[in-house]
Amino acid sequence: MIAKLAYLTSPSAGRYVFNFQPFGSDDLISIEVGPDHMRNMLDDGITHWLRNSLHRVPITTNQESADGSAGAGSQRTA
């Protein structure tokens, strides 16, 4: 199912509601989710967002740190 609209609400402490509107429908569906499900949804969403982020820090293969100084385990000669 593809959702046209989806959002999370928390009507009170410890209660979480997932609201969505299926594409092609005018109905808004609300489903209460437990705290463990909420944590899993947030964890999966953040992981997905970080993997697909356009503003990632480039992976370096040497031992040099971001400021150009030698990192632990590498030596610099003058």
H-helix segments, the chain? 35-51
**Residue in 1, 5, 2 with CA at minimum distance from that of residue 21:** 5
Tell me if the pTM is above 0.85.
no
Which residues are paired to 8 by β-bridges? Answer: 18
Confidence of residue 71 (pLDDT cuts 50, 70, 90): low
Quick check: 65 and 71 in contact, CB under 8 A?
yes
What would the pLDDT profile of 10-61 be if each residue is shown by its tens digit? 999 989 999 999 998 999 999 999 989 888 988 998 888 888 877 666 667 7
What pLDDT, on a 0 to 100 scale, did the predictor assign at position 50?
A: 84
Q: Which sequence spans correspond to the domains of the chain?
A: 3-51
